[in-house]
Amino acid sequence: RNGATKDGKIYGLPIDSWTMLYHINMDLFKQAGLVNADGTPILPKSPEELLAQAEQFKQKTGKPYFVQNLANETALFTRNLYTYLFQQDSDF
């Protein structure tokens, strides 16, 4: 914190601009009952909805709701871990 604090305020810039995308297999979403009447996917609006959707998806399709892509991205887990730790104000 000391390296990013001035006059009692914390300043900083992102150290990583890598972003995960939320890709959807619409065929599996339809099978799971997670598609609106207009054909758009029903996306979760809260952590609780996310977990409920994941459970529904797994029950209806037998497939995992989340799949992590590791192709050509060996530092993926480290980058995510550090991002989550910093986000939660970890001191390590």
For residues 4 and 74, the model is more confident at: 4
The pLDDT tens digits of the residues spanning 21-65 come to 678 899 999 999 999 999 999 999 988 998 999 999 999 999 999
Mean pLDDT of the chain: 83
What's the angle, vertex CA 27, arms to CA 23 and CA 32, rounded to 5?
Answer: 95
Spans of all domains in the chain: 2-82
Task: pLDDT band for 66, please (50, 70, 90 cuts).
Answer: confident
Residue 79 has pLDDT above 80, yes or no: no
The backbone torsions φ and ψ at residue 44, rounded to the nearest 5 degrees and listed phi first, read -70, 145
Longest CA–CA span in the chain (Å) reads 55
pTM for the full predicted model: 0.58
